[in-house]
Amino acid sequence: MLDRRTALAGLGIGVAGPAFGQGLAPAAVGSPLSGSADPVEMIDLWPGLPPGAPSPLPAEQIVERSADPAFPDRIMRAIARPRMAVFRPAQPNGAAVLITPGGGYSHVVIDKEGYEMGRWLSARGFTAFVLFYRLPHEGWAAGPDTPLSDAQRAMRLLRHRHAEFGIDPARIASMGFSAGGHVCADLATRFAAHTYAPVDAADALSARPFAAAPIYPVISMRAGIAHPGSRERLIGAAPPAAREMAHSPDQQVPADAPFFFILHAEDDDVVPVENALMLRTALKAQGIAVETHLYDRGGHGFGLRRAAGKPVAAWPEQWLAWARAIGLA
């Protein structure tokens, strides 16, 4: 039985949390790409206010960008209540995937790189969690580490509550798209960074994912290679070189980084393919196992729906084969 708070959140009705104002929870919308039931659970990351909260809090807003009701394309702006939407599979395989959708650090995509991927994964046995992370330029004390703080907290919380979700705490992977790919790669390279003060027992656990899959990711913060909007919103318009390096995952790869799966299209005119190549080079230099798939055509932001009918449409099954090969699935 779901408690009232969880049930209402799954229906998209804002519910006040402890010491917290009204918050919007994105409702799930049906799609031709649905592979399983829509989520009916939302998990708040933090007890009460998230750390380093500005005053006033950002005013959350959900915007529909699609005119086609068959293909919703909502985004969430000004996230004040970071949380995860849960996709439980009918036949769980014990593995979990934390999904970080894109949005250029100006918003977080709900459907295209979030709920659609959650449905696809849960239909194949994975318990999927779509993370609505806070944005770094909205006054949070952690600044550019704010999205990473939420990703670290999410991984620790999933490990802490693994029995509740029927998942193996050792088999929790991450997957991210575009700027969410930066969150994914940042988590997989800086999982041990101290970005917030512990708040409960969950924070004693590791934030390291078992494996990471940054998809057409923002990686480098170097001008000319970085996605300009993501760079400015993450580290500012004219950051010092040290700040660029600190927030470029290719410059932060540790010797104990997890397995990586990298995917990019060479004709991506939003996030240059050099981002993926620089990350791959850095992982190889550390001896980290990495599988890389480059497509001649595909553009940016294809997710599942915009890949249909193109060679790049093979990427989810390529990820699944890789996941089985490394022991995730």
CATH number of 80's domain: 3.40.50.1820
Instruction: Write out the chain's pLDDT in tens, 329 residues.
Output: 233 333 333 333 233 333 333 333 454 443 333 333 458 799 999 999 999 999 999 999 999 999 988 888 999 999 999 999 999 999 999 999 999 999 999 999 999 999 999 999 999 999 999 999 999 999 999 999 999 999 999 999 999 999 999 999 999 999 999 999 999 999 999 999 999 999 999 999 999 999 999 999 999 999 999 999 999 999 999 999 999 999 999 999 999 999 999 999 999 999 999 999 999 999 999 999 999 999 999 999 999 988 988 899 999 999 999 999 999 99
Q: Are 182 and 299 in contact (CB under 8 A)?
A: no
Measured between alpha carbons, how far is 286 from 256 in angstroms, rounded to an integer?
A: 9
Residue 26: predicted pLDDT: 52
Helices (H) and strands (E) in the chain, counts: 9, 11
- Alpha helices by DSSP H, 4-115: 4-10
Measured between alpha carbons, how far is 125 from 28 in angstroms, rounded to an integer?
A: 19
Query: Model-level pTM?
Result: 0.90
Q: Are 130 and 84 in contact (CB under 8 A)?
A: yes
Strand partners, 61: 77
Cis peptide before 258 (omega within 30 of 0): no
Measured at the CA of 271, the angle between CA 73 and CA 257, to 5 degrees, comes to: 100
Phi and psi of 34, rounded to 5°?
-60, 135
The helix (H) or strand (E) run that includes residue 42 is strand 41-44
Domain count along the chain: 1
**Domain span including residue 278:** 4-325
Structure-token match 């500005």, residue found: 54
Measured between alpha carbons, how far is 113 from 110 in angstroms, rounded to an integer?
A: 7
Residue 38: predicted pLDDT: 58
